Amino acid sequence: MDTLLLEHISANDVVSDTRAFALQHGKDHQEVVGAMKSVQSLGDVIATKEMSEEKWLLTDEGQKTLQAGSLEARLFQQIASEGSSLEELKKSFEGFSIAFGKASSKKWVSLDKASGIVKRATESIVDDVQKDLENLKLGEKLPPKTLDDYKKRKLIEKRVEKFYEICKGPGFSLETEKLATDLTSEMIANGSWKQQGFKGYNFSAKGRLPDSGHLHPLMKVRSEFRQIFLEMGFSEMPTNNFVESSFWNFDALFQPQQHPARDAHDTFFVSHPAQCNKELIPGDYMERVKKMHSEGGSGSIGYQYDWSEEEALKNLLRTHTTAVSSRMLYKLAETTKATGEFKPVKLFSIDRVFRNETLDATHLAEFHQIEGLVADYNLTLGNLIGMLYEFFNKLGIKDLRFKPAYNPYTEPSMEVFSFHPGLKKWIEIGNSGVFRPEMLIPMGLPEDVSVIAWGLSLERPTMIKYKLDNIRDLCGHKVNLQMVYDNPLCRIEKH
């Protein structure tokens, strides 16, 4: 093809239109363009000029019309000589509304409204649409109004067709030499570089894209979790305080001050400062929480103990992001009081929490918790289960089990388990439940408002997704960075 192109240019000085050249020699136009670019790569053998032309081409629907006729013509042919039922035509003829409208405007068909019968209004028809498309394909021009109508009917579409003019370049020759792209050590050693032609540098060419970066599996799954929450209509909660008071972390959640989780064996308490500023906690709210713990209320007897303000003011590294949820629900209650109107909310957060755990294959002292809650009227455990199934299904985890559990601040409560193929066992990936009235009533939320909530691990779903059997392969000094690099799931997509 290269030789044919050069011989034509040698004899005629120019190829004025590569499309005509391709047609003349029975070649595909792209084949001619490929030959042109091949010769271009040899240097200044030829000079080219790119040109373009707008053309109207038939769509798939246009091709169908060309073969079988327009919609209105096909409808005319389908109508029986004695007429056809309007309802039957609607069921059996695809695109009936458009076809009937066009056929009616051309006075091809009529409708007897009393009987619901569609009849032919003429003996024969001329399918002008089909004829127009035939002419268009042969290169004839149609009126702009007709083209616009056929475009709206999706029978034709406008495309820009590129073609080239090719003429002799300064170095034109029928005897072409393949130019080298690199100066090699062999050329230098044998002296062949002196006679060898070299390609010129293309300084406008784009360089090779470097390898894309890689996200740590935890960050990758965290982004997926966040995107899923946003797709489900949730708003993100602020989680920028790792140090919390015991009040927001435990007391506001109706967790008794003698609970084992508040022991130093389970919680990292802060030494300096050991207590938070009391003024940062609303005084009237603290009093209502104190009363609910020590005396009860709204049908609850509370815990019947002397509630300690000193214990509530202790600083700690938050053990769960539910501390953030308690702050947000109190804020929601205050907004409801101020406006007189309760507005349902869906909130989530993903951030680190800290527990004084013994490290093993499935436990760390520092890990990520995914917190989600929905506050609305009359929510039930069924709503919570449905929400969890939908959430994990979007993540690609379908094997879930739920087990009844006890939480101080939720009733009913349940643990969430998923099957781990690597460990070949069911592992707990989260906890959930319906917040107790003893937690919500002191905040000031309306009594018929329920809150479903869940706290999920980020690390364990990541282990399942990436088939890891030891959580320490994800975090800490033993993490294998080569694993992050090699795993295709961690690769950042190029854009």
CA–CA distance, 479 with 345 (Å, rounded to integer): 38
| 333 within 8 A of 445, measured Cβ to Cβ | yes
| 287 within 8 A of 297, measured Cβ to Cβ | no
| 448 within 8 A of 377, measured Cβ to Cβ | yes
CA–CA distance, 482 with 17 (Å, rounded to integer): 55
In the three-class reduction of DSSP (H, G, I as helix; E, B as strand; rest coil), residue 349 is classed as strand
- pLDDT (0 to 100) of residue 108: 92
Q: Where are the domains of the chain?
A: 2-58+157-194, 62-152, 219-490
Q: How distant is the alpha carbon of residue 449 from its chain centre?
A: 32
- pLDDT (0 to 100) of residue 495: 40
CA–CA distance, 252 with 180 (Å, rounded to integer): 76
Strand partners, 420: 425
CA–CA distance, 157 with 150 (Å, rounded to integer): 9
CATH of domain 62-152: 1.10.10.2330
Q: Which fold has domain 2-58+157-194?
A: Ribosomal Protein S8; Chain: A, domain 1 (3.30.1370)
Q: Which fold has domain 219-490?
A: BirA Bifunctional Protein; domain 2 (3.30.930)
C-alpha to C-alpha distances, 480 to 36, 422, 486, 491, nearest whole angstrom = 51, 18, 10, 15
| 27 within 8 A of 57, measured Cβ to Cβ | no
Residue pLDDT tens, the chain, 495 long = 778 888 888 888 888 889 888 888 888 889 988 888 888 877 788 889 999 888 888 999 999 999 999 999 999 999 888 889 998 898 889 888 889 999 999 999 999 888 899 999 898 899 999 999 999 888 888 898 999 999 999 999 988 889 889 898 887 877 766 777 788 899 899 998 888 877 777 788 887 777 666 677 778 788 888 898 998 999 999 988 889 999 999 999 998 888 887 776 678 888 889 888 888 899 899 999 999 999 888 888 988 999 998 988 999 998 888 889 999 999 999 999 999 889 999 999 998 888 776 665 555 677 788 889 999 998 989 999 998 888 888 877 788 899 999 888 899 999 988 887 777 888 887 889 999 999 999 999 988 899 999 888 787 777 777 777 666 666 666 666 666 556 655 555 544
- Please name which of 130, 86, 81 lies closest in space to residue 104, comparing C-alpha atoms: 86
- Please name which of 265, 292, 278 lies closest in space to residue 408, comparing C-alpha atoms: 292
- pLDDT (0 to 100) of residue 494: 47
- pLDDT (0 to 100) of residue 285: 92
- pLDDT (0 to 100) of residue 483: 63
- What is the residue type of 372? G
Q: What is the DSSP letter of 206?
A: P
| 59 within 8 A of 89, measured Cβ to Cβ | no
Q: What is the pTM of this model?
A: 0.53
In the three-class reduction of DSSP (H, G, I as helix; E, B as strand; rest coil), residue 266 is classed as coil
